[in-house]
Structure 1
Amino acid sequence: MKITIIAVGNLKEQFLKECSMEYQKRISKFSRMEIIEIPEEKLSEKASQKNILDCLEKEEEKIKSKVNPSSFVIELSLEGSELTSEEFSSMIEKITVDGYSSITFIIGSSHGLGKGIKDIANYRLKISKMTFPHQLARVILLEQIYRGFKILNGEPYHK
């Protein structure tokens, strides 16, 4: 199994970088892991809705160019389904049983993702009803992937 996270933007704060690297190290015991960062398109604070949509379209093309077509694609989305950690773990297992050898998670910018990403996504995942910065969403996702593998392997993990 290979886990890929395609994220728009990079981690800026050192504590988030360290946390991300720690979870990547932990996940590597269970799966190959790759994080691909796509540069966030620059927008002025007074950007129009059209400017935002244009930027999302540019980011979308860059994202699509990095997606392995044989991967199961999970888009992080406010319109997605919320899962418990156990359900998330079961989903990872089902994806593997269904014959996929890789899972690609896509995290958009603070403006979200272009509409075309929905066309290539096999599943939409909502981390929470709460709003998180997209940088923190990456760390939360990494922690849940790690937790999912621990659950799958019957290993203890704090609750």
Structure 2
Amino acid sequence: MGRVVVHLHGRAKNASFRSSISEYANRLSSSGVSLVEHRNKTDPKTYLKEISDKHPGHSIILLQESGEELDSIQYSEHLKRWSMKRNDTHLVVGPPGGFDLMGTEYKSLSLGKITLPHELAAVVLLEQLYRAATIIKGLPYHRP
């Protein structure tokens, strides 16, 4: 079974964001979702190359404004599909400046048409993955 790995470019500087990221990561640990903070803060190309070189054959999906938008139910369907895959799925939250036009060779998801600080994008993504996990488990967290 495939896992879902969320990659963050660095550690959140803001204590509130760090706390929320940690809280959702802990809640998601039993659902096959893990978090990796890349503290070396390399440029976007090197950051992606490090991830793709370390995980050849795995799905890499960038979080960027131009990506596919999903609602919470669609996130749950994707999470279920990703967990059934043979290889892991890597969701990559970009650096503060984003990925520019690098998404052409990668699939991408969007958290909406708005621009978010990368730390807040990480919180929103993790919350949506947690919501998706509770939908799959039939827990009452999500109320449509």
How big is each residue's C-alpha offset from its partner over 1:16-69, in whole Å with a ceiling of 9 and x where there is no partner?
11111111111112225131315334xxxxxxxxxxxxx433333333334x22
Consecutive unaligned residues of structure 2, counting only runs of 5 or more, are: none
| Aligned twin of 2:80 | 93
Distance 2:50 2:56 in 1: 14
| Aligned twin of 1:155 | 139
Aligned AA (1:77):
Q
Contact 2:3 2:82 in 1 (8 A): no
Aligned AA (2:15):
Q
CA RMSD of aligned residues (A): 2.2
Aligned AA (2:72):
S
Aligned AA (2:110):
K
TM-score normalised per structure 2:
0.84
| Aligned twin of 2:110 | 126
SS at match of 2:30: coil
TM-score normalised per structure 1:
0.77
| Aligned twin of 1:82 | 69
Contact 1:80 1:126 in 2 (8 A): yes
| Aligned twin of 1:51 | none
Consecutive unaligned residues of structure 1, counting only runs of 5 or more, are: 42-54
Contact 1:72 1:102 in 2 (8 A): yes
1:58 and 2:46 aligned: yes
1:23 and 2:19 aligned: no
* Seq. identity, %: 26
Distance 2:44 2:50 in 1: 10
| Aligned twin of 1:146 | 130
Count, aligned residues? 142
- After superposition, the Cα gap between the structure-2 partners of 1:106 and 1:134, relative to the gap in structure 1 and judged at 3 Å, is same
